Amino acid sequence: MSKQPYLITDAKITDSSLIAHFWQAIDSEAPKRPFGGDTGSKQQRARDIIAHAISSPAAHVLTANDGDTIIGTITGHLYQRPVVKLSSVGVIYSLWVAPEYRSQGIGQSLLDAIEHQLTSMGAEAFQVGWDTGNQYAAKWWQKRGYSAYETIASKHNPDTEVK
């Protein structure tokens, strides 16, 4: 449990900038990723992604708040593939918890909430990805029943790199 009470709510479009700033503060510690959009426009791209997810009927952005402060977020969307007749999948991404609030059950509460939201939308399975170098994340997700089943690799195209 958290040392202080926190509330999980659906994000509003007006929260987009706050959430993007929260993501950037935590993501600044991560290694550079060729497929991750490490550019000067990263903050704007994050705001656009968040705003799109908030306004989409097939997605949810949830925040954990300690008073007026965002201490965690999670995003998920329902991915349906009717043409190939596969199960509807709840794709979960952007689970972020502020370092000082980790190991207090906030990530689990956010995961439970997004899984519930996606299930109510028709998800029959869930999918998540994590950085291969993040063994803490791998253990965290696997403890919750998620199994790694493929590796996706990427690299920058040296002919198009921003210098």
The 10 Å Cβ neighbour count of residue 120 is 10
Classify 102 as helix, strand or coil.
Answer: coil
The pTM of this model reads: 0.82
Residue 93: φ, ψ to 5°: -150, 170
Spatial CB neighbours of 153, under 8 Å, sequence gap ≥ 6: none
pLDDT tens per residue across span 16-32: 888 988 888 876 655 55
Does residue 1 contact residue 105 with C-beta atoms inside 8 Å?
yes
How many angstroms separate the CA atoms of 119 and 125, rounded?
A: 8
What domains does the chain contain, in order, with CATH numbers?
7-143 (3.40.630.30)
| Percent of the chain clearing pLDDT 90 (strictly above) | 51
pLDDT tens per residue across span 31-75: 555 545 555 567 788 888 899 999 999 999 999 999 889 999 999
Strands 86-97 and 69-81, by their bridges, are antiparallel
Helix-helix angle 42-55:16-27, to 10 degrees: 130
